[in-house]
Chains A and B, each alone.
Chain A
Amino acid sequence: MLRLDDAAFRQGAFDLAADLEITAGKVTAVIGPSGAGKSTLLHGIAGFVPQTGGRMVWQGDEVHRLPPDRRPVSMLFQDNNLFPHLSVMQNVALALTHRLRPSAEVQARVEQMLQNVGLSGLSARKPAGLSGGQQSRVALARALLQDRPIMLMDEPFSALGPGLKAEMLDLSLGLAGERTVVMVTHDPQDAARIAEYVIGVVSGQADPPVETARFLRCPPEHFQTYFGRS
């Protein structure tokens, strides 16, 4: 499991406190109003936002001092997941190598992964030549190819229509397999459909995960206005 031990993160003038445990191998949703700190939590776990206090422990190892690329996480960002000047092949291959002309072996692995996410024969294209859904698939392929035990998803599909978003969520979780998935969402229905646990984040405080059904049935008091029930 991933344990945040009295952890504090600071992004600019914003502080986020988190003292919680995320169960390994499960899907956990992060829910909360805009500006509450959902993204800060994910970016803190990924190592982009400095941790100003406490510890972060993954399967017994301290990870909070590691640089982002050495942590056990891969991440799907809200936007700018792909380098627009690189081809699909180059974008995905960056998960394995920093060579822009990857070896045949790497190319084969990339092609295989692109096939898994349902993108065959597009590896020579640039992102601008793909639809929004296809771009999401490329980003997903790279995150999967990084093969880290934790996959963080910062609303990567929020720009897609509802049908496509649901499809992409199902695809991601299907391919994530045994990985631990932590995903930010605005939509309680997304959480209900795919997440086993929910972390509520409100005004700089991330609560410990609660089972999704229980969270949605009787949300914490400060979530009732957010969900629009009074």
Chain B
Amino acid sequence: MAQRAVPVIAALIVAGLVIGPVTAVVWRGGGVSALSPADLSALRFTIWQALWSAGLSVVLAVPVARALARRSFLGRSALISIMGAPFILPVIVAILGLLAVFGGNGIVNVILAPLGLPRLDIYGAHGVILAHVFFNLPLAVRLILQGWLSIPSERFRVAASLGAPLFWLLEWPMLRRVVPGAFAVIFVICIGSFAVALTLGGGPRATTVELAIYQAFKFDFDLGKAASLAVVQLALGLGAGAIALLLARGDFLGAGLDRVVQRWDGSRIIDGAWIGSAAAFLLAPLIAILIAGVPGLLDLPDSIWRATLRSVFIAVCAVMLTMALALPLATRAGEAASLLGISVSGLVLGTGLFLILQPFVRPSSLALPVTLLVNVLMSLPFVLRILRPGIDDARADFGRLGQSLGLRGVALWRIVYLPRLRRPMGFAAGLTAALAMGDLGVITLFSRPGEGTLPLAMYQLMGAYQMEAAYGAALLLVTLSLGLFWVFDKGGRLNAQA
């Protein structure tokens, strides 16, 4: 009985942590009638930019994925691995990198200016869309590449020997199956993305609902307004999430993209151009951070180092807490409980927690625990997605053997499941740590000046135009995020035999 209680308790904790804040938000937010014209325009902009971001990402991803599917070249697998990196790349770092390339004094403008071309302005709606494409183009490429590689190579051979049109016969049906799901997943991500709008958006033309929540908190200190906006965001997220659940297939964390389909069509030059442009678009901002960050590292203010400690602490705690909840949940239908979290954005949860805590304590004194909690809830669905197949395999392969040896409860976990799960657990822990390390969301609502995490401290440096220090902080942040990921992931592989 006691063993059965553990997953139930974990499920209740997770459900409670999601439902509690949501209830608080709905309670306080009341009807949608409270929305002002500005709020409605934020709602419109949120949907509009998400449609454009998802559309552009997917449309551009198709030729890139096709080129990757049929060309083999040096560095191909490295490029595909790098396309998995934006998922764990701190958003604020990428934005600073994009500013370095596309910003007012960025590389692109330096090149454009002597040619007499108009200056590029990254702030505003197109900046938001650009940043979203930067983050989601790689995801779209990986999803669509998976679709391409799922077509058996024999079919390409048969089609080639018949001289049949490859596109209509093989590729179009695949795209029709894969693209809507990719679009929907990216749409959901862009609906709930906060840090991009915070840094590049703003003003009447480029304010998302999430940004409006933040502004209601920070500038108006109008909790009622923040709550009703959070209700809007909640409805938006749940609606988009439901659509994505219907459309999305495939596992966007999946591996096994190493194969190249041998084909006899297409232009080597055009494929090369697509791959080259995509690689340049993705790598230039990161290289810019690397180059500009090194000098800044030397004179980082003390406050940055304190913020770094806080962030690392949050990341490590998030890993432990997420695993403690994920392991029992992964054995039951607990995945459903955690899925709640994926369509409820961090800022909505944060607003709810703020409303709940405010009567009892000063919310800013709980900034770090709340950030930790929200990060745990946000990574839980991904972690479960990663752990479930491992647990299912272990049960299918060794469940009966374990039963015949009388292994159950703790002994079953110790002897069978945990050792079998080392690799996925390491990967999931790395993901959790990197996401928590780089998160710039709910902390912006709660934190007092000088008590933030590293991403927040970096954002404040950018706001104060201390760019040298901001680049240094960005390099530190990205190194720590990727480093934590690497350490955990490597830990899972170490001595993990067979």
Q: How far is the CA of A75 from the CA of B399 in the complex (A)?
A: 13
Q: How far is the CA of A83 from the CA of B415 in the complex (A)?
A: 9
Residues from chain A with a CB closer than 8 A to the CB of B397 are: 80
- Nearest residue in B to A84 (C-beta to C-beta)? B498
Given contacts A69-B406, A83-B415, is CB(A128)–CB(B498) below 8 Å? yes
Within 8 A of A (CB), among B379-421: 397-398, 400-401, 403-407, 411, 414-416, 419-420
Contact with B along A80-123 (1 / 0, CB 8 A): 11011110000000110010100000000000000000000000
Q: How far is the CA of A100 from the CA of B415 in the complex (A)?
A: 8
Q: How far is the CA of A47 from the CA of B399 in the complex (A)?
A: 12
Q: Is the CB of A85 within 8 A of B404?
A: no
| A101 vs chain B, min Cβ distance (A) | 12
Given contacts A43-B400, A48-B403, A68-B403, is CB(A83)–CB(B411) below 8 Å? no
| 8 closest Cβ pairs, A-B complex | A69-B406, A84-B498, A85-B419, A68-B403, A128-B498, A98-B411, A80-B397, A48-B400
Q: A46 contacts the other chain (Cβ, under 8 Å)?
A: yes
Residues from chain B with a CB closer than 8 A to the CB of A77 are: 400-401
Q: Which of B404, B415, B498 has the most CB of A within 10 A?
A: B404
Q: How far is the CA of A95 from the CA of B404 in the complex (A)?
A: 9
- Nearest residue in A to B403 (C-beta to C-beta)? A68
A46-B404, A70-B406, A85-B496 given. 4 additional CB < 8 A pairs? A67-B403, A73-B404, A94-B407, A98-B411
Residues from chain A with a CB closer than 8 A to the CB of B267 are: none
Q: B497 contacts the other chain (Cβ, under 8 Å)?
A: yes
Within 8 A of A (CB), among B437-489: none
- For chain B, the bracket of interface size reads 10 to 19
Q: A127 contacts the other chain (Cβ, under 8 Å)?
A: yes
Q: Which of A81, A86, A98 has the most CB of B within 10 A?
A: A98
Given contacts A69-B406, A127-B498, A128-B498, is CB(A81)–CB(B401) below 8 Å? yes
Residues from chain B with a CB closer than 8 A to the CB of A127 are: 498
| B141 vs chain A, min Cβ distance (A) | 35
Specify the main secondary structure of chain B where it touches its partner: helix
| B406 vs chain A, min Cβ distance (A) | 3
| Interchain Cβ contacts under 8 Å between A and B, 29 examples | A47-B403, A48-B400, A48-B403, A48-B404, A67-B403, A68-B403, A69-B405, A69-B406, A70-B406, A74-B404, A75-B400, A77-B401, A80-B397, A83-B401, A83-B419, A85-B419, A85-B496, A85-B497, A86-B419, A94-B405, A94-B415, A98-B405, A98-B406, A100-B414, A126-B497, A126-B498, A128-B497, A128-B498, A146-B405
Given contacts A83-B398, A98-B411, is CB(A68)–CB(B404) below 8 Å? yes
Contact with B along A36-51 (1 / 0, CB 8 A): 0000000100111000
Partner of B498, one of A47, A48, A85, A94: A85
Residues from chain A with a CB closer than 8 A to the CB of B416 are: 83
Partner of B400, one of A68, A98, A126: A68
Residues from chain A with a CB closer than 8 A to the CB of B496 are: 85
Residues from chain A with a CB closer than 8 A to the CB of B419 are: 83, 85-86
- Nearest residue in B to A95 (C-beta to C-beta)? B405
Q: How far is the CA of A68 from the CA of B401 in the complex (A)?
A: 10
| B42 vs chain A, min Cβ distance (A) | 52
| B189 vs chain A, min Cβ distance (A) | 36
Specify the main secondary structure of chain A where it touches its partner: loop
The interface size of chain A toward B, counting residues with CB under 8 Å, comes to 26
Residues from chain B with a CB closer than 8 A to the CB of A146 are: 405
- Nearest residue in A to B406 (C-beta to C-beta)? A69
| B413 vs chain A, min Cβ distance (A) | 11
| A61 vs chain B, min Cβ distance (A) | 19
Residues from chain B with a CB closer than 8 A to the CB of A100 are: 414-415
Residues from chain A with a CB closer than 8 A to the CB of B497 are: 84-85, 126, 128
| B422 vs chain A, min Cβ distance (A) | 8
- Nearest residue in A to B416 (C-beta to C-beta)? A83
| B452 vs chain A, min Cβ distance (A) | 42
Residues from chain B with a CB closer than 8 A to the CB of A74 are: 404
- Nearest residue in B to A148 (C-beta to C-beta)? B404
Partner of B404, one of A75, A98, A126, A128: A75
Residues from chain A with a CB closer than 8 A to the CB of B420 are: 85
- Nearest residue in B to A126 (C-beta to C-beta)? B497
Q: How far is the CA of A80 from the CA of B419 in the complex (A)?
A: 15
Q: How far is the CA of A70 from the CA of B408 in the complex (A)?
A: 13
Residues from chain B with a CB closer than 8 A to the CB of A95 are: 405
Contact with A along B419-430 (1 / 0, CB 8 A): 110000000000
Residues from chain B with a CB closer than 8 A to the CB of A86 are: 415, 419
Residues from chain A with a CB closer than 8 A to the CB of B407 are: 94, 98
Q: Is the CB of A80 within 8 A of B404?
A: no
Partner of A98, one of B398, B403, B415, B498: B415
- Nearest residue in B to A139 (C-beta to C-beta)? B401
Q: How far is the CA of A73 from the CA of B416 in the complex (A)?
A: 21
Q: How far is the CA of A169 from the CA of B259 in the complex (A)?
A: 43
Q: Which of B401, B403, B416, B497 has the most CB of A within 10 A?
A: B401
Partner of A80, one of B398, B403, B415: B398
| B104 vs chain A, min Cβ distance (A) | 56
Q: How far is the CA of A70 from the CA of B419 in the complex (A)?
A: 25
Q: How far is the CA of A68 from the CA of B406 in the complex (A)?
A: 7
| B305 vs chain A, min Cβ distance (A) | 40
Residues from chain B with a CB closer than 8 A to the CB of A83 are: 398, 401, 415-416, 419
